[in-house]
Every structure is written in C-alpha cells, then in structure tokens.
Structure 1
Amino acid sequence: MNTPIGSRYPAFLRHTHWITFVLVLLAYITINARKFLERGSAERLFAVESHFLLGMLVLLITVPRIVVRLRHAAPPIVPEPGVASRLAAWTAHLALFVFLVVQPVLGIASRLLSGRGIGLPLTEWAIPSVGAAQPELAESLEHLHEFVGEAFYYVIGIHILAALWHWLGRRDNALQRML
C-alpha cells in the first residue's frame, strides 16, 4: 500500500527519524569517546557497552520505521525538484536505511561471533554468544563495521547538507516535511 498523506510525514516517521538521529549521534560519540578512556576502566566499558545498546536500539527502531515508510508515499516537495535531484535523494535515503540496518547487524554479529557476548551498560547482564567463537570472522566483520561507520560520516554529512540546501538554497519544503 502506498497511501498519500499531507504535506508532512506521519508523526511516527518524524519522531523515529529524530530519535534515530540522536541514537546514531550518541553511538558515534560513545565509540569515539572510548579512544580517550583508559583500557580496562569502568568508563571505557560504559562507553563501549553504551555503543552496543545504542546500535541495537537503532536497529529496533529502524525496522518498524521502514515498514511504516513503505506504506506511505513521501509528501511532495514543493516546488518539485528535477529528476536528477529526486534520483540522488532516493539513492541517499536508500543508503541511509541500509546503513541503519546493516551497521548494527555487523556490530552485533562481530561481537557475538567473537565469543564475548554483548554487555549491557550499568548492569551485569549480557547477551551471550551462541555457538563456538569464530574470531577470524568476528574480526573481519568488526573491520567492515568500522569501515562502514567511517564511510557514513560522509553520507550523513551529505544528508544534512542536502536538507540545509533545500531549506536555505531552494527554499522548498523538503526539510519541513520531517519537522
């Protein structure tokens, strides 16, 4: 179903967009903060475990977000952009949604395959690894997770710049649809 809607995305999509933004921002902050914290310290463990939890939350929010998004047509951008802009926007949004699913899955898989499980911050609880540890595969997935995370600084940056360009340059309603 692709039901048309008004001039804004449905409230669920708007809210989950901004919640996802905050969660991704915090995930990047926590994983980068660990570099400045002493190995083996409680603070570093908290940063790393928070990163894991934030990634899992991103995945849990993104799946229903995609389902709802597929059921609703995007509100029209007024004035309508050209074909090249629409194709670029479609491509960027697809990349962002793939990232929001693949990145947490890579992180979760690499951690579980390492045999260490996934600790939850400020608790003694952990999601245990299942099966035998596969350290080589876990390391490969972790490197891919890190590469994708680095590459997505650029995609996220382009997304933000495009929103600002629509708002300040084109003066259309693209950004307002998500507010």
Structure 2
Amino acid sequence: MSTSDFIPGTSRYSTFLRYAHWVTVVLVFLAYISINARKFLERGSAERLLAVESHYLIGIVVLLITVPRILVRLRQEAPPILPALGPASRLASKTAHLALFMFLIVQPVLGVASRLVSGRGIGMPLTEWSIPSFAVAQPELAKSLIHLHEFIGDAFYYVIGMHILAALWHLLVRRDNVLQRMV
C-alpha cells in the first residue's frame, strides 16, 4: 500500500479496503454456493464433505479479513459522497453497513461456535487437518446456534440484495460516486 492510500479526502477508499471489500464479496458468494451445494450431494460422500468443509474455511477467512477491514475503516475517513446524501439516506446507509459488518462477524463466529460446542472439530478441505473441539459436547446449544446461523444466513440474502440494489440506484438513478469510491 502506498501512503496515498491513507490521505483523507481522496475520492476512493484505500487500496486495502477496496480489495478487502471485493474479496469478501467473492468469499460470501462462495460460502453461499458451497453450503447450498451440499443439499444436492449424497450424505457421507467426499463431495458433500468438501462442500461443507469449504464453507467452514471460507467463513473463517471472511472473519480474518473482516476484522482488519473494520479496524482500518475505523481509522480512515470515508471518501465523500458527491453529491452529498440527505439525513435519511445517510442513516439508511450507516444502518445497512452496520448490519453487513455485523453479519460478516457474527455468521462466522456462530458457525465456528456451533461446530465446537457440538464436540466436533472443523475439518479443513482436501486435508486431514482439523481445528479440534476442546469444548464438552452440548448438542442442544449446538443445534440452537446452527438454527440461528441458518436464519441469519437466509435473512442476509435480502440484506445483500438490498445492498446491491442500493449500489445500482446510486450508479444509475442518483448518478453519484458511491460505487466509484469502491472500485
């Protein structure tokens, strides 16, 4: 990263934040594909295990990218939106982004926690490696965490969809620089 990435008042987010955003987009897309693919694969098959373990690994990577992304974002001023948003639009934007970042933290944490409190480890795809569970198996808690993880995952189809529609609205209708700040 160059020092110009951290100059306040520039028209785009820093290189790190832009790349982290788009890598996260791809990873979340792959996480949804991998977990939904398992529904079409035979229980106990190597293909199903690969889909599930890939989902776990992708979730962990999302978490590992999101934490520094949030820390950097808290330290850097956002490039201005031109023309400026009104108060209601600013509130909607801040609320949506807070929800998205909470999702990117809460979902992987719930996924990992559900596996660990189930007494099972988290297998790494295409290897014999796993993150072992050191917790005493608590099947009811694990089941509750899995249901919450699935509920939030389903709800976020809509939040992600609204985020995409908002970006398109800014680009095509409002014709401001919201999307350009992230590319």
Q: Which residue of 2 is the match for residue 167 of structure 1?
A: 171
Deviation per CA, 1:102-125, whole angstroms, max 9, x where unpaired?
A: 000000000111111100000001
Rounded to whole Å, the distance in 1 between the matches of 2:29 and 2:144 is 24
Q: Which residue of 1 is the match for residue 125 of structure 2?
A: 121
Secondary structure at the aligned position of 1:8 is classed as: coil
Q: Does 1:101 align with 2:105?
A: yes
- What one-letter code is carried by the residue in structure 2 that aligns with 1:67? L
Rounded to whole Å, the distance in 2 between the matches of 1:84 and 1:4 is 25
Give the 4+ runs in structure 1 shifted more than 3 A: none
Q: Which residue of 1 is the match for residue 3 of structure 2?
A: none
Gaps of 5+ in 2: 1-5
Size of the alignment, in residue pairs?
178
Secondary structure at the aligned position of 1:132 is classed as: coil
8 Å contact 2:11–2:79 — kept in the other structure?
Answer: yes
- What one-letter code is carried by the residue in structure 1 that aligns with 2:101? F
8 Å contact 2:122–2:130 — kept in the other structure?
Answer: yes
* TM-score normalised by the chain length of structure 1: 0.98
**Percent of matched pairs sharing the same residue:** 75
- What one-letter code is carried by the residue in structure 1 that aligns with 2:137? A
Q: Which residue of 2 is the match for residue 147 of structure 1?
A: 151
Secondary structure at the aligned position of 2:178 is classed as: coil
- What one-letter code is carried by the residue in structure 1 that aligns with 2:151? F
Rounded to whole Å, the distance in 2 between the matches of 1:3 and 1:87 is 25
8 Å contact 1:3–1:71 — kept in the other structure?
Answer: no
8 Å contact 2:119–2:136 — kept in the other structure?
Answer: yes
8 Å contact 1:118–1:128 — kept in the other structure?
Answer: yes
Deviation per CA, 1:23-69, whole angstroms, max 9, x where unpaired?
A: 00000000000000000000000000000000000000000000000
* TM-score normalised by the chain length of structure 2: 0.96
Q: Does 1:135 align with 2:139?
A: yes
